A and B are shown apart, each in its own frame.
With several copies, the nearest count.
Chain A
């Protein structure tokens, strides 16, 4: 149960096997695990099943998902939304769906949250209002409608719990004991509870014990849930530590990734040619 402190994102990503079910958050906060994702691309990992909590529809998260899909790492994506938000559609994702090479398991945000929360509790399924009569429900064999046992004539949807094999994210800080501070980004805690492995890059490692600081402790994922972490400032690029996103970098990616060739060129320049990629 001891947290492994590893040297870098590559060492963390080395723990992710092909075929793993990977949980990632929506990227509204500064938590996109881009450095680890690019290492998965470098390693040529395949057959990943991505679960987005509940979307990847912010510029950096949409871009990360798009790169993994474009690079052939991904078998399926369970999601309630994929895009680069106001910048537009995710190009390699859209192309893969049209080409029929990517399985999309369409969901709706609260269903992903509810199923993940059930997973975090180790329960088999949970109940959620809504959904009934949607085509989402029609295409999900892990959702079902049952009769509410406490109310007459009240059909309710049940959702099978979500338990990713691995969760990947970036966080503001951790201590040397492996406790990770996440601020208001509570979804990261739920994901860590629900997942078998949790791999974290952090902006910085701080001295002391985060669990002993009464103002910080409430927003800590205790080391018990953290498999391994590495200090890797900027590992959330194109997100930046100040909370903004380098939108020019996202636009440049989107422009390149409009075509398969452009995407390959982008990978060559930004992933395979980067000096730190040398192994």
Chain B
């Protein structure tokens, strides 16, 4: 490990892992208030020389809709969106996602904002990347209280899409669609398997060889800290200031 890599931030490791999951994607959309997925997607865009198109929702500069808010979903329905990110107040071991609340629906002990596009995009986007930075038994649960979007579907249900991975502040899981279960893929630097087990509310499989999530190499880091950081600062100024110490370009 070179000297420059020792001060790599967790956000950079996570973004690089995300970019790895996006290889070869032609079009990636990033939901609002998702700075790390946005960083990963823009890194994929830079690495691909622009071949991977990135749409950051809510940002005029990086979206191109001219047919109203349904256009994102329409192009996804047409197979024109290869990857999307989804988070959840709760995510369970079957990759079911809950964005609605805690408690016996419709009663709610805690009410979250709502399901947004999850119950559709999860079915039609080939690579849905789940992310939830808070890796605890509160967020990664055995069974969600409300299924905003199911992780898997009955045979016969049209489902070209679905989850491929879950990334947290501790580790990266693969999702095995046939089995309907997560498999640990890599631990972020310094994280132990024990720690992951202790903080995960669901059971998961182990890989033959448990790897460490790679620390980005120098080339990748210079992309992240250079062009990617400058672009992310236009969309997420607070995040860019905190992580990269840079300000958005004057409008």
Direct contact between A and B judged by beta carbons closer than 8 A? yes
Interface of B is mostly: loop
CA–CA, A204 to B69, complex, Å? 25
Q: A residues 111-144 with Cβ under 8 Å of B?
A: 111, 113-114, 117, 120-124, 128-137, 139
| CB–CB B77/A121 < 8 A | yes
Known A-B contacts A1-B27, A1-B53, A94-B111; the reply to A109 vs B74 at CB < 8 A is no
Interface of A is mostly: mixed
For the complex formed, measure the closest distance between the CB of B213 and the CB atoms of chain A, giving whole angstroms. Answer: 27
Known A-B contacts A1-B53, A79-B114, A113-B69; the reply to A120 vs B74 at CB < 8 A is yes
List residues of chain A with CB within 8 A of the CB of B178.
Answer: none
Q: B-facing mask of A66-95, CB < 8 A → 1, else 0?
A: 000000000000011111011001100110
Q: A-facing mask of B63-103, CB < 8 A → 1, else 0?
A: 01111111101111111100000000000000000011100
Instruction: Please indicate which of the listed interface residues A93, A103, A155 has the most CB atoms of chain B within 10 Å of its own CB.
Output: A155
| CB–CB A107/B115 < 8 A | yes
Known A-B contacts A122-B74, A130-B123, A193-B74; the reply to A222 vs B118 at CB < 8 A is no
CA–CA, A9 to B153, complex, Å? 46
For the complex formed, measure the closest distance between the CB of B131 and the CB atoms of chain A, giving whole angstroms. Answer: 16
For the complex formed, measure the closest distance between the CB of B87 and the CB atoms of chain A, giving whole angstroms. Answer: 13
| CB–CB B157/A111 < 8 A | no
Chain A residue nearest in CB terms to B65: A184
| CB–CB B58/A28 < 8 A | yes
B interface residue count range (under 10 / 10 to 19 / 20 to 34 / 35 or more): 35 or more
List residues of chain B with CB within 8 A of the CB of A194.
Answer: 78
Q: With an 8 A cutoff between CB atoms, is B154 at the interface? A: yes
Q: B-facing mask of A133-168, CB < 8 A → 1, else 0?
A: 111110100000000000001111000000000000
List residues of chain B with CB within 8 A of the CB of A275.
Answer: none
Q: With an 8 A cutoff between CB atoms, is A97 at the interface? A: yes
Known A-B contacts A129-B123, A155-B157; the reply to A81 vs B114 at CB < 8 A is yes
Name the segment of B141-149, B184-192, B226-234 touching the other chain. Answer: B141-149
Chain A residue nearest in CB terms to B103: A98
For the complex formed, measure the closest distance between the CB of B72 and the CB atoms of chain A, giving whole angstroms. Answer: 8
Q: With an 8 A cutoff between CB atoms, is A30 at the interface? A: no
CA–CA, A137 to B115, complex, Å? 12
| CB–CB A139/B106 < 8 A | yes
In-complex Cβ contact of A187 among B68, B108, B158 (8 A): B68
The 7 sampled A-B contact pairs (Cβ below 8 Å) are A98-B111, A106-B100, A106-B115, A108-B148, A109-B117, A111-B119, A193-B71
User: Using a CB–CB distance below 8 Å, which chain A residues touch chain B?
Assistant: 1, 25-26, 28, 53-55, 57-58, 79-83, 85-86, 89-90, 93-94, 97-98, 100, 103-104, 106-111, 113-114, 117, 120-124, 128-137, 139, 153-156, 184-187, 189-190, 193-194, 211, 217-224
User: Using a CB–CB distance below 8 Å, which chain B residues touch chain A?
Assistant: 26-27, 32-33, 51, 53, 58, 64-71, 73-80, 99-101, 105-109, 111-124, 146-150, 153-154, 156-158
